[in-house]
Amino acid sequence: MTPPNDRFVSETDFAVRYAETDAMGVVHHASYLVYFEEGRSHYMRHLGRDYSLIEKSGLRLPVTEIGVRFAGSLTYGERVRIHTWVADSRSRAIKFAYEVSSMQSEEILVTGFTQHMWTDLNGKVCRAPDELQDLLTQPPA
């Protein structure tokens, strides 16, 4: 799941929170979905299109499918780094891909994707405006 060469890839990093760890001493696996969401939010903010703006425009982007693979783990005291890109974009659906590593090493620890569909406020599937589709898939100038 390496990002294609022509694809905009956003990078963000932040500290592991103690509340995200579990009794095994590492970040709980469910927290990575929140990290993915943080990566996705950062991706959109970077393009000047915060998800809250999308919501205000009457569109929603609920998750329809998730896949995650765990090759390693993070502990408190480390910084999380996430690379996020659009793996696929269609008129009614969009797929984000993620790579999570620790700032302290180059090793990729967790990879995954989230598949979303565009809906209106009533949850009915709809077509995303072309300009929004373009914005989300084209690198910032």
Catalog residues that contact a copy of itself under the rule CB under 8 A: 14-15, 17-19, 21-26, 28-31, 33-34, 37-38, 41-42, 45, 50-53, 55, 60, 62-70, 73, 75-77, 112
The reply to whether 134 belongs to the active site is no
For a copy of itself, give the closer residue by CB, 7 or 60: 60
Q: How far is the CB of 5 from a copy of itself (least distance, A)?
A: 27
Tell me how far apart the alpha carbons of residues 8 and 84 are, in angstroms, rounded to a whole number: 9
Burial of 46 (0-12, 13-18, 19+ CB in 10 A): middle
Q: Which of 22, 88, 120, 134 is catalytic?
A: 22
For a copy of itself, give the closer residue by CB, 26 or 86: 26
Q: How far is the CB of 89 from a copy of itself (least distance, A)?
A: 19
CA distances from 92 to 86, 101, 134 (A): 14, 30, 13
β-partners of residue 81 are 13, 101
For a copy of itself, give the closer residue by CB, 41 or 137: 41
For a copy of itself, give the closer residue by CB, 75 or 91: 75
Q: Which residues of 59-81 are buried (b: 16+ CB within 10 A; e: fewer)?
A: bbbeeeeeebeeeebbeeebebb
Q: How far is the CB of 32 from a copy of itself (least distance, A)?
A: 9
Show which residues are catalytic: 22
